[in-house]
Structure 1
């Protein structure tokens, strides 16, 4: 699949997903929920419309407000780039409780908390359309939150 086909595919998927009643649109950054419906707000700093433009050589920050769906003492965060169905790891943090901006671990089901993380967009990354997939897992490894954000690395 060439770059033009991939761009058209990602844009088409994003448009159809965002038109779906199941899509979650928030004022900060539009995203597609890919799991438990626990995300209250999500912001990719500097991105108010899709696809998010990720410039090589910069650091991108993700801020999320979440409602816990389980009791947990720990959190783990994972960020992947989904390239045509292949998940490429961007970042992982198995000590994500240290990245809470509000609330604290341990968390109880129903607790609201804020989370932030940053990922470097390396100069080595090719300019390509990609779907960023962010996951937050509880102590048992169960998914607490998941968001997909169509993006373009430039």
Structure 2
């Protein structure tokens, strides 16, 4: 019986919202959950994946949605490639097109290469309507890459 309680507690802990920062003048997500992280900075191991779920509410009809990540280290900001930039393919229990008012959860899987040094990095995720280039949702979070 205690093993069952431990499993339930671990599952509940993994679903806890993670503190995050809103992007200036861009819509914020309803909720962000980064695996194994409830507050910033989130510790991420070299060679592992950042896995997060982002809840959004479509403020308009959206046919195509793209995930764009920018990473800032030592004041330098670069685009960070994702293995699957088509956010429609990474929606959990929903799909594109989204209609105004639809609630959707996007699942981010962002590999952290072993070549990335042990540094603090700010990561910004934008979900963009590619037909209008309008940002649907944006947030950023501080990560600490560790060994």
TM-score scaled by length of structure 2 = 0.80
SS of alignment partner, residue 98 of structure 1: helix
Q: Give the Å deviation of 1:89.
A: 2.4
Aligned to 2:54: 64
SS of alignment partner, residue 30 of structure 2: strand
Q: Give the Å deviation of 1:52.
A: 0.5
Return the match for 1:136 from 124, 127, 135.
127
Structure 1 consecutive aligned stretches of length 4 or more whose deviation exceeds 3 Å: 35-38
TM-score scaled by length of structure 1 = 0.76
Structure 2: 5+ residue runs without aligned partners?
1-15
Q: Deviations over 1:64-117 (max 9, x none)?
A: 110012211000001221124422222344421011103221112221111102
Structure 1: 5+ residue runs without aligned partners?
1-26
Equivalent residues in 2 for 1:5-154, closer than 5 Å: 27-34=16-23, 35-92=25-82, 93-138=84-129, 139-154=131-146
SS of alignment partner, residue 61 of structure 1: strand
Distance in 2 of aligned mates of 1:137 and 1:95: 10
Q: Give the Å deviation of 1:152.
A: 0.9
Distance in 2 of aligned mates of 1:55 and 1:130: 13
Distance in 1 of aligned mates of 2:73 and 2:59: 29
Distance in 1 of aligned mates of 2:19 and 2:97: 29
Q: Give the Å deviation of 1:37.
A: 3.3
CA spacing shift, 1:36–1:69, aligned 2, 3 Å: farther
Q: What is the number of equivalent residue pairs in this alignment?
A: 128
